[in-house]
Chains A and B, each alone.
Chain A
């Protein structure tokens, strides 16, 4: 268990955390402000990745592709909101689960029809390919640093947006008591739409950013979605700050658990069994973390509703 490996895995965990935060930020607001369970949020992430892959292939430039993918992801999210989701806000959670489950099935399949079942790959932009030496003996891929950096930048911007601007104030007020905000004369429908579109775009951005390092394939958002739900529940539904802290926590626990769990288990088991068991038990760590948080704080770490 070398120190270098620990640093690398910590950076990997941070990268996963940032990624989770980008998806969770929109989801926690949609959840907190509109009281809407959107299982289809992971699909937005997948759509973002596919749009980036398509536009990058068309233009031959990742950043041009990203610039085209973001507004497209936004438009797509708004279209979904207009067609389906806005009719579900006043329904109970079960109806929302059923309808958004239907949307997952539809879009996962639609993606397969349009782009094929085989994974797409997106090349890492030339300027950011390769690795750089962070410390003697510590090489790290540049693109992953770009993901971490851009994610942290967005987290800061989002924090300012939510805590300092008028729209952010309305969003926070909406997360605390949406009816009251509506009674005070704010067009809550419009607010919902803005929050929803923005959340869809952030998830799309996350998908686009990881497209060069992961394979872009149907259903890629499904398992990440569940991890994102874990994040927002730990962080407290409706809290962007909570989502950030929980995302980094989950990212680190998941990554470090996966890489060092087997090593630690080797102390008590034979190596083959330790690596197999460790690899499989590590994902459980995040769920154990969540169950423990809910046990002691049933509304998460930073609940928006008092």
Chain B
């Protein structure tokens, strides 16, 4: 059973690793771009699952971190600094900084108020981006090209970028997985189940929760870095509250608190969006009710459904 449960993420990564080979027989650049997008959002969703699924911290402003990461790329590159060796650390540091400030304030509140205050910070980041007239304001800005590494265009080709994104996804997943099973992760989960008891045992929960919030925000900044590079475009639209909502939907759709569920959810969300919008321009008329039905009838998301099926098969 344990082996089978661990097989799912391996299966997912194997699929991602082999997909370009299959894609080379079809519309290659389209498929590469689509699945790269899936992986970028998977990183964001995994980082959200870390605080949402394991910490029960419902952040409704998570897209802001993606925006911060993306804007770090955009702003640096518009000043001619296009090297990843500078861009990536700045993107991560900026996201981490934003997370420290907003996390320290938000974590003073609980429950619904936490949802709302994270939403407020997300909106502030959005309007701040709109106000950056020098960097495109409302319209956003186009990058002059993808980031370099020591002067070398290492992700210029789509396939190279695809594998860089895959490596980033696997690294993010491995980091989150090792955090979750560590003592640190057990404290976080303990705080989810019973904060009073954890505090009574003597854990400074605020510091633990702030730490996981900052880690999640930083990882999401990584997704933003990749996102800016993929689209070669940065705009405030990356941090609308609807985008934050979509990230929550991805995590829930896949199944809360399993990490690979978030990857599955991101893939399901984006592929459904892509597939349905190919069929009809009114694809939201199908997708919206689908979400409602998932909530009403398929508790635990896709992972829950898979495990229920497996439970039936095993019994």
Q: Closest CB of chain B to A45's CB: distance in Å? A: 16
B282–A291 contact, CB under 8 A?
Answer: no
Q: Closest CB of chain B to A108's CB: distance in Å? A: 7
B142 at the interface (CB under 8 A from A): no
Interface of B is mostly: helix
B109 at the interface (CB under 8 A from A): yes
B128 at the interface (CB under 8 A from A): yes
B248 at the interface (CB under 8 A from A): yes
The contact string, 1 if C-beta is below 8 Å from chain B, for chain A 262-306, is 000000000001001101110110011011001100111000000
In the complex, A222→B245 CA distance in Å? 12
A91–B295 contact, CB under 8 A?
Answer: yes
A135 at the interface (CB under 8 A from B): no
B133–A277 contact, CB under 8 A?
Answer: yes
A1 at the interface (CB under 8 A from B): no
Residue of A nearest to B128 (CB): A284
The contact string, 1 if C-beta is below 8 Å from chain A, for chain B 208-245, is 00000000000000000000000000000000011001
Residues 83-110 of A contacting B (Cβ, < 8 Å): 84, 87-88, 91, 93-95, 97-99, 101-110
CB neighbours (8 Å) of A294 from chain B are 108-109, 113, 116-117
A84–B292 contact, CB under 8 A?
Answer: yes
Quick check: which of A49-57, A136-144, A158-166, A226-234 contacts chain B, the rest being far away?
A226-234
B284 at the interface (CB under 8 A from A): yes
B315 at the interface (CB under 8 A from A): no
**Cβ-defined partner of A284 (8 Å) among B52, B58, B117, B124:** B124
Most central of A88, A290, A300 by chain B CB within 10 Å: A290
B120–A230 contact, CB under 8 A?
Answer: yes
For chain A, the bracket of interface size reads 35 or more
**Cβ-defined partner of A109 (8 Å) among B117, B131, B288, B296:** B288
In the complex, A291→B116 CA distance in Å? 9
B137–A97 contact, CB under 8 A?
Answer: no
In the complex, A84→B242 CA distance in Å? 21
**Cβ-defined partner of A94 (8 Å) among B58, B110, B120, B242:** B58
Q: Closest CB of chain B to A272's CB: distance in Å? A: 8
Q: Closest CB of chain A to B80's CB: distance in Å? A: 22
In the complex, A280→B248 CA distance in Å? 27
**Cβ-defined partner of B291 (8 Å) among A98, A277, A284, A300:** A98
CB neighbours (8 Å) of B60 from chain A are 97
Residue of B nearest to A35 (CB): B112
In the complex, A229→B284 CA distance in Å? 24
A233–B124 contact, CB under 8 A?
Answer: no
CB neighbours (8 Å) of A93 from chain B are 58, 111-112, 115
Q: Closest CB of chain B to A247's CB: distance in Å? A: 15
A281–B115 contact, CB under 8 A?
Answer: no
A106–B289 contact, CB under 8 A?
Answer: yes
Residue of A nearest to B132 (CB): A280
**Cβ-defined partner of A102 (8 Å) among B112, B113, B282, B288:** B288
B248–A230 contact, CB under 8 A?
Answer: no
B148 at the interface (CB under 8 A from A): no
A184 at the interface (CB under 8 A from B): no
A288–B124 contact, CB under 8 A?
Answer: yes
CB neighbours (8 Å) of B299 from chain A are 95
Q: Closest CB of chain A to B221's CB: distance in Å? A: 21
B249 at the interface (CB under 8 A from A): yes
Known contacts: A106-B284, A291-B121. The answer to whether A280 contacts B137 by CB under 8 A is yes
Known contacts: A94-B256, A95-B295, A102-B295. The answer to whether A233 contacts B113 by CB under 8 A is yes
CB neighbours (8 Å) of B245 from chain A are 39, 97, 101
The contact string, 1 if C-beta is below 8 Å from chain A, for chain B 60-92, is 100000000000000000000000000000000
12 further interface pairs, Cβ-Cβ under 8 Å (given A93-B58, A98-B248): A95-B295, A101-B249, A102-B291, A109-B282, A230-B116, A233-B117, A273-B133, A276-B137, A280-B127, A284-B124, A294-B108, A298-B110
29 A–B contact pairs at CB < 8 A? Answer: A84-B296, A87-B296, A88-B296, A94-B256, A97-B60, A98-B249, A98-B252, A99-B292, A101-B245, A102-B288, A102-B289, A103-B292, A105-B287, A106-B288, A108-B284, A109-B284, A222-B242, A276-B131, A280-B127, A280-B128, A280-B131, A281-B131, A283-B123, A294-B109, A294-B116, A295-B105, A295-B108, A298-B109, A299-B113
Which residue numbers of A lie inside 8 Å of B, CB to CB? 31, 37, 39, 84, 87-88, 91, 93-95, 97-99, 101-110, 112-113, 222, 226, 229-230, 233, 237, 273, 276-277, 279-281, 283-284, 287-288, 290-291, 294-295, 298-300
Closest 7 CB pairs of A and B: A280-B131, A106-B288, A102-B291, A105-B288, A109-B284, A99-B295, A287-B120
